[in-house]
Structure 1
């Protein structure tokens, strides 16, 4: 029964190789995911610093709402 033994050994080797391949792909995927998460956190930190700098600057405050004058208001009309 040489062929059964060879077949069993080949299947075991294939199974081991398949398992190691799946483990490697999983580890690689986790690494890429954690790298993307790290880059996303860093970009949020940069945006937060930019927003705080814009709030702190007196002459160019990006979060000030423009003052609306009464002459620029459009009267409401009914839709009837």
Structure 2
């Protein structure tokens, strides 16, 4: 994973590193060629963009709540 891409967002970077560590520990396949391929895929650069964006925007809700904003009116207006 390219953690330097997320260097400006250390919390997201930390969450992505934890995710990668958990995935690497979880992968345990009896078929060694497939097992090795999946490990290489998880460790290759350019992955984890979608989870990174998820972590980034999931923190947005708590930030807005701390500032006293609510997403309910926004969601109510856009989805009706």
TM-score when normalising by structure 1? 0.31
TM-score when normalising by structure 2? 0.31
